[in-house]
Amino acid sequence: MAEAKKAGRSPAQNSGSDKALNVDKSAFVETLEKCGSSHVLMLRPHGFGKSHLMDLLFSYYDKSSLASFNEKYAGTYIRMHPTTLKNSFRVLRFVFSSLGGADEQEFEANFKKIVLDGLDAFLKRNPDVDFALDDDMKADPIFALTGLCLNFSQQFPAEKIYLLIEDYDNFAYDVLFENRMELASADFLVDFYESIKSVLNVTIGRTFITGVFPIAFGSLFGENGLNVVRNFASFRSFADVAGFTAQELGAIAPDFAGKGKLGGVEKIVQDLDATAGGYVFSPYSADPLYNPRDTAAYLQEKKTDGTDEKYQKRLNTILDLSQGFDLKDLIDRILRRDLIKLTSVTPFLRLSLVSSYNNSDLLSLLFYLGYLSMARDSIKKTGAVALVCPNDHIAGFFRRYYEDKKLDALPDDF
């Protein structure tokens, strides 16, 4: 197995499966600070290392990590090029990846527990903050969040909080795919984001939010919130901040060549092109990326633990609910790797049933979820945003839907 730490590779940016797959994504800090917005929404499909970007930002900006900075980032870009904001914030982090519930009551209880856990962890890292989570606060964590922020701004008027929210859109899966419309306007969700908006730029100086697809929700996201939280998913400068580039894969592959059932570097790259590569997230980018989770599974010869079954089920649901599409024609075009042109990818999707989406919204949803990718350099080549199937592995999901629904016999060249 390759060494866990090598020059230029950051421990905060591994694939999630093995530290031998570490790559240095720390230059993203510079990109983020220069993007022109202090409140950023960053979207990528599952498996693209969004959690590790969060780890990077947490340890880079939080004051409590200052003493370990040099050791943690030895050999990385940001160690050699630190910004003036390094370790200058108190970081408050909420992780909603485990959010769920059988009914709205259980969902709300789990949501509030996550908020309370985030507040509690913040206070433990910052014992000088004079704020107590008493029983009243614990009973209403959203009220506690507002109270903490207002108290903090009075106690530390020269400081700001950096807010990290991971998987903000997790609840939306239940709305879009499970017909749980009661969550679309749930008071506790609206109140949480409204409380955040009320202290933006007062107590919260910067915000970084991750998810898979953009949901127009409340006044913080969507048409009424474009000047608050900006969706940078398809910006050229953000094109390669998550996922492995060809150069990064080239640095990783030799460590695994000839191990187990793997072939040489050329065979590894060829196989990964077909199973994990081909992803482009900006219409101005010509450089495809590899999904780190799928790359790790291949290199370490591990199973995907039901991921394929989940992806197949979700795609089936989307296509079953689609309206206005000739599904046979659409899947034929996807399997042929035809370019599917759009005026633009929908920047914020309505929080409603997929069955109510128009063609542009539905194609945008398939893009955000990773079933489609932007074509390489599509603006330059076609003058428009163009979507395409990224690789053979993803094509297999469409093929199985095609065959299971008996839309027609597949052409011989498929």
DSSP 48-107: S-HHHHHHHHHHHHBGGGGGGHHHHTTTSHHHHS--TTTT-BEEEEEE-TT---SSHHHH
Tell me, what's the pLDDT at 16?
Answer: 40
Q: Residue 121 and residue 164: Cα distance in Å, rounded?
A: 13
Asked if residues 215 and 172 have their Cβ atoms less than 8 Å apart, the reply is yes
Tell me what pLDDT residue 344 has.
86
Q: Is 396 helix (H, G, I), strand (E, B) or coil?
A: helix
pLDDT at position 359 is 86
Identify the bridge partners of residue 374 per DSSP, sorted by sequence position: 387
Q: What was the pLDDT predicted at 325?
A: 74
| Amino acid identity, position 179 | N
Q: What is the pLDDT along the chain (414 residues), one digit of tens a residue?
A: 232 233 334 433 443 444 457 789 999 999 999 999 999 999 999 999 999 999 999 999 999 999 999 998 999 999 999 999 999 999 999 999 988 888 888 889 999 999 999 999 999 999 999 999 999 999 999 999 999 999 999 999 999 999 999 999 988 888 777 777 777 777 888 889 889 988 988 999 999 999 998 887 766 665 544 457 888 888 889 999 999 999 999 999 999 998 888 889 999 999 999 999 999 999 998 899 999 999 999 998 876 667 889 899 999 988 988 866 788 899 999 999 999 998 888 888 887 777 778 888 899 999 999 999 999 988 888 888 999 999 999 999 999 998 888 666 555 554
Number of H helices, E strands in the chain: 17, 10
Kindly list the strands in the beta sheet with 340-342, ordered across the sheet, starting from the edge strand earlier in the chain. 340-342, 385-388, 373-374
The pTM score is: 0.90
